[in-house]
Amino acid sequence: MSMPLPEIEFELTASQYERMGFPGLRQGQPLTLVLDAGVLLPDVSAESWYAVQKEPLPPRFVNVGPAWFAFSGQIIDAELLTEENEQTGVLSIDCGVVSLRVTCAPQADGLLPYGAWETRYLTGVGRVVGIVDDDFRSGVGQTTDVTIWRFRRLILRPGDPLFGQWHESVELAPLPFQYDRIIVTARVHRRGI
């Protein structure tokens, strides 16, 4: 008896869809992408945050809101950068069913917390964006293979009578969207398949 493929959500931004060339997407279509949680702060009172530790953490990737995830796991790849006396770290985290790229902001002193590098463990929370066409300056970030399941669109176009409402569909038209938010639900392929 086979187990169902794990289901995840990610935001598809308007700029990412434009970089893809507005291809039109539909249910059942495979996609290879980097899952990115963006810039996280070393402050647990922030909306998107992270904490690093030496002690092992179990890999976790738990949906806590539309494309928002609480996550933990081992840092498997890291690139530390220093610009204008401030450090940032671009890290790849093994969260079990997926690898997640995060950008760690520095503390108030301009330094990353001790241990923000490979073999340590990270936990945090943030909005996950799917990046198909990556123009990121770092080589950090492993791809994840998924099959699209459905789309949820938050209508935010000024003056639209459906403003503030979610609309669900199994396809995304090959047209730009400027204001709306698109959340893609997808099934993660098993690694090695």
Residues 153-169: tens digit of each pLDDT: 999 999 999 999 999 99
Q: Both tokens of residue 83?
A: 């610009």
- Bigger pLDDT: 135 vs 58: 58
- 140, containing H or E segment: none
Is residue 25 within 8 Å of residue 171, measured between CB atoms? yes
What's the average model confidence in pLDDT over 28-46?
95
Is residue 11 within 8 Å of residue 121, measured between CB atoms? no
DSSP single-letter state for residue 41: B
What pLDDT, on the 0 to 100 scale, is given for residue 192? 47
Q: What separation, in Å, do the N-terminal and C-terminal C-alpha atoms of the chain show?
A: 17
Domain-by-domain residue ranges, the chain? 7-188
Q: What is the pLDDT of residues 103-139, one digit of tens each?
A: 999 999 998 887 767 779 999 999 999 998 766 666 7
What pLDDT, on the 0 to 100 scale, is given for residue 139? 76
Is residue 100 within 8 Å of residue 71, measured between CB atoms? yes
